[in-house]
Structure 1
Amino acid sequence: MRYLPHSEHERADMLAVIGASTAEDLFARVPRHALLREPVNLPRHSPEFLVEAKMKALAGRNHAAGDGPFFIGAGAYRHHVPASVDHLIQRSEWLTAYTPYQPEVSQGTLQMLFEFQTQVAHLTGMEVANASMYDGSTATAEAVLMARRLTRRSRIILSGGLHPHYRDVVRTYLGDGPDLVCLPASPEGQGDILNRIDGDTAAIVVQTPDFYGHLRDLRAAADAAHAAGALLIVVVTEVVSLGLIEAPGALGADIVVAEGQSIGNSLNFGGPYVGLMATRKEFIRQMPGRLCGETVDADGNRGFVLTLSTREQHIRREKATSNICTNSGLCALAFSIHMSLLGEAGLKKLARLNHHNAVKLAKMLGTVPGVELLNHSFFNEMTIRLPVPAAPIVELLARADVLAGLPVSRLEPDNPACENLIVLAATELTTDDDIAMLAECLHAALSEDAQ
């Protein structure tokens, strides 16, 4: 789309200023085959109120998470976000996704990020955390690269219980090859990951609760990895679980990465989200992104600075740990505000509510003929096996406005063992009526399919 001045004289004057005789000269370097031969197939311009009405009609076709029973999890969870969170992050002094480039005049932002780091370190049981990453999946990939730098080894082993999206992002970063071992998706376990560790292994990546909802024994994984000189990277996609289960750092993790969306950030139809990363103090200089620190000024007053910025915009490219050029500062702020509102006692109560509702969901699913629960332990997420392919059943329930979870075949289309599986989640927003509706619809759908 080109802007044309109101008069030919204005147009000629503008072209003369830039040294072009015609408007077509502006596109002289574009190959002829790449130029459009006819206008783009888009609606003609309309008054603002008509455009707004059109967009509202399109938005009305969405089925939002709060429009009915909702059991989808698998890395993105529906939790209550207090109205005060949204109000505070929209204040003009906060409304940015960036760590400040002039930190000395942005003390409020730096203090918030410092407190965010403190919260993340406390949650994960680690000694130090950075000022956030893009999301949980890319944080996992950055952790893998970090482990390679620390150990000077190249082999990475991914658990069969790792979220398929996270696995694919790591594969995108590293590429396929003998140095990346992706164990097969395993709804019953994480695969033989501990027996695959050898002297060339830089790190093993284990998720808990894993993609299928199982809680994993991190002590055994840490002992096996450390015995071979490798690192243990722990992935957490449901950060609320850390309010109830023991922190990964206390169980031997070397690097912890997590998706922080559950705290302070709504689903938002897919983002933006916020990645968390924490590690041990001795590994701090290989941690990607940025780290805010506390200091005092010349008068002895408390102040905040960017202590470490090991990215290519701050140091020589060849010495950079990562090319991550920003963070999810606004989402990190939302996380930090919500966490501050909860406090330690509030987070524990929230976690207990999630688990309590998940237990009720598991018990109700156990009453539906043909449904098999695969989990012996879980936090707020679980996997069931149906006697028939799961995807058509989930679609059938969706037409009844019941979002019954994620059919695993959607993410693992080439794995026959996953065809009949559904991953479901319950949160503090899941009601008894929601659970009863799911069980009733699931029973009806399976009965109809059997006929």
Structure 2
Amino acid sequence: MRYLSHTPEDLRAMLDTIGVKKVEDLFSTIPAEVRMDGPIDIKPRTEWELTAELGAMAEANCDSVAFLGAGCYPHHIPAHIPYLSSRSEFLTSYTPYQPEVSQGTLQAIFEFQTMTANLLGMEVANASMYDGANALAEAAIMAIHVKKKPKVAYSRLNHPHYIQAMKTYFRPAGFEAVEVPVLPDGRTDFSKIPDGVSALVVQSPNFAGVIEDLEAAAKAAHDKGILLIASFSEAMAWGLLKNPGSCGADIVCGEGSSFGIPLSAGGPGVGMLACSMKNVRSVPGRLVGETTDKNGNRCFVLTLAAREQHIRREKATSNICTNSGHNALTAAMYMASAGSEGLHAIAKLNHDKAAYLKAGLEKAGFKPLFDSPFFNEFAMKAPAGFEKRYDELAKKGFVAGLDLGKYYPEYKGAWLFCATEVHTREEIDAFLKEVA
């Protein structure tokens, strides 16, 4: 199909319909200091000139050792995962709008759902979430549909970007989100759950790396007659920790990109969402089920597809269109390859590497922000002047954690550090030597 640009008349008609005077007005919500003002300086280049220029730009990027997590975690990706997931029958497949002729795609989704449910200890999981933030927003709306109360409580140490996404979903619907404070040990204060909410959202490990007491969270939520939504940003934690389902969570949601998906400058992600069977009809998006055809052969079907593309809009639980299907396939391949014992071993290595890093930082003068158990990241109070030292470390090839004070003013001077199986002892020792 030939590309035909919009005519000035087309642009004028669209702008009038939207209600703005010029195209630039569409970007008014973006701060002026980060907007480009004026034409973009692009000159023609040959293919080899452009390749050389992009290569030079790539080489200019810092090749650092990053002790940074906060929702995006570096993990080893076995060579067979991208090889298998890039096969054409996987890479070129699309959302099964004609599911009866998409058996391969449906089976891949079914396997992802099955392993997600097993990992999280829940009865049913879907395969329609874009990432962890989207999964949390959809889970919160699901809880509101179940309990019929347009308000959700969330722990202060849930990932701030996830909460921002949830509030963005809530705004046009008129729903409300209420924050629950945390205790001095970095865990949620369940005695402060407000009345009149549908659910309590608790992330574990939380944004400061602290492992929450999900059993206590479930008891506190159920005593008030509300649902517990257990959120997570690091799926690898469930290779080692007691899963949310066995702790009493009603809905579990989070980010699964630790399973075979490269960081790629912050994305893409793959959202996970699971729940108990009694709430299955409120699950957003789509579910793939297993059945038999008229000849008794095993086959797969879309079932309980409660998105607005399949049923009347007013009856739909969500308008989510599809999921990052290829990422779900990749995550399923990773989980199947590692198995439960493999995930446990990798998760154990994550914790051990983080514990080694934490002990070294304490020797260098850092102090734990919280005296609570952690998985592969933790918060530390830095010695005076560390902000300046942070920039010096960056020049030497180390990204020394995340400044928690940017998100939580009360934790000014505290930094979030992370170590996973990809960090070698030599890298950690070199970093600790520079810090000391």
Contact between 1:391 and 1:409, CA under 8 Å: does it hold in 2? Answer: no
Does the Cα contact within 8 Å between 1:405 and 1:423 map onto a contact in 2? yes
Find the partner of 2:312 among 306, 316, 320. 316
| Structure-2-length-normalised TM-score | 0.89
Distance change in 2, residues 1:30/1:336 (3 Å)? closer
* Gaps in structure 1 of 5+ consecutive residues: 5-22, 444-451
SS at match of 2:90: coil
Matched-pair contact (CA < 8 Å) for 1:373–1:383: yes
Displacement, 1:341?
0.8
Q: How does 1:18-167 map to 2 (within 5 A)?
A: 29=13, 34=22, 40-63=39-62, 67-96=63-92, 98-167=94-163
Structure with higher Rg: it is 1
RMSD: 2.5
Check conservation: 1:235, 1:256, Cα contact below 8 A: yes
Which deviates further from its counterpart, 219-228 or 382-391? 382-391
Contact 1:407/1:421 (CA < 8 Å) preserved in 2? yes
- The equivalent residue for 1:259 is 255
Among 153, 176, 179, the alignment partner of 1:179 is 176
Distance change in 2, residues 1:190/1:105 (3 Å): same
The 2-side partners of 1:382 and 1:428 are apart by 16
CA–CA separation in structure 2 for the residues paired with 1:236 and 1:25: 48
Instruction: Give the whole-Å Cα distance in 2 for the aligned partners of 1:222 and 1:97.
Output: 40
Please, which moves more after superposition, 283-292 or 170-179? 170-179
Residue 190 of structure 1: how far off its partner (Å): 3.7
Q: 3-state SS of the aligned residue for 1:201?
A: coil
Give the letter for the 1:435 counterpart. I
Q: Distance between the aligned counterparts of 1:423 and 1:155, measured in 2?
A: 30
The one-letter amino acid of 2:373's match is S
Q: Larger deviation: 176-185 or 27-36?
A: 27-36
Q: CA deviation at 1:226?
A: 0.7
Identity over aligned residues, as a percent?
44
SS at match of 1:158: strand
The alpha-carbon distance between structure 1 residues 51 and 127, as it changes in their structure 2 partners (threshold 3 A), is same
SS of aligned partner of 1:269: helix
State the distance in 2 between where 1:269 and 1:259 align.
Answer: 16
> Does the CA contact (< 8 Å) of 2:128 and 2:322 recur in 1?
no
Secondary structure of the corresponding residue to residue 65 of structure 2 = coil
- What TM-score comes out, normalization by structure 1 length? 0.86
1:194 to 191, 196, 202: 191
The CA deviation at 1:186 is 7.0
Task: Decide whether aligned partners of structure 1 residues 367 and 288 sit closer, same or farther in structure 2, where only a CA change above 3 A counts.
Answer: same
Distance of 1:178 and 1:35 partners within structure 2: 31
**3-state SS of paired residue (2:304):** strand
Q: 1:335 aligns with which of 308, 321, 331?
A: 331
Question: What does residue 437 of structure 1 align with?
Answer: 430
Per-residue deviation at 1:182? Answer: 2.0
Structure 1 contact 99–110 (Cα < 8 Å) conserved: no
Matches within 5 A, 1:354-393: 354-372=350-368, 374-388=370-384, 391-393=387-389
Structure 1 residues 148 and 29, CA, compared in 2 at 3 Å: closer, same or farther? closer
Counterparts of residues 168-247 of structure 1 (less than 5 Å)? 168-175=164-171, 179-183=176-180, 188-198=185-195, 200-247=196-243
1:396-417 deviation line (CA, Å, top 9, x unaligned): 31111111111113334xx1x2
Distance apart, 1:242 and its partner CA: 0.4
Residue of 401, 407, 413 corresponding to 1:411: 407
1:424 matched to 2:423: no
TM-superposed CA distance for 1:441, in Å, is 1.9
CA displacement at 1:438 relative to structure 2? 2.0
Deviations 1:405-440 (A, max 9, x none): 11113334xx1x222111111111111122212222
* AA matched with 2:393: L
Any idea what SS the aligned residue of 2:417 has?
strand
Partners of 1:156 and 1:203 within 8 A in 2: yes
Counterpart residue number, 2:28: none
Write out per-residue CA displacement over residues 135-179 of structure 1, whole angstroms, 9 at most, x where no aligned residue: 001100111000000011122111022111111111211239893
Equivalent of residue 296 in structure 1, options 275, 278, 292: 292
Amino acid across the alignment from 2:179: C
Q: What is aligned with 2:393?
A: 397
Aligned partners of 1:372, 1:284: CA distance in 2, in Å?
Answer: 41
User: Using a 3 Å threshold, how does the CA distance of structure 1 residues 251 and 337 change in structure 2: closer, same or farther?
Assistant: same
CA gap of 1:30–1:68, structure 2 versus 1, over 3 A, is closer
The structure-2 alpha-carbon separation of the partners of 1:91 and 1:3, relative to structure 1 and needing over 3 Å to count, comes to closer
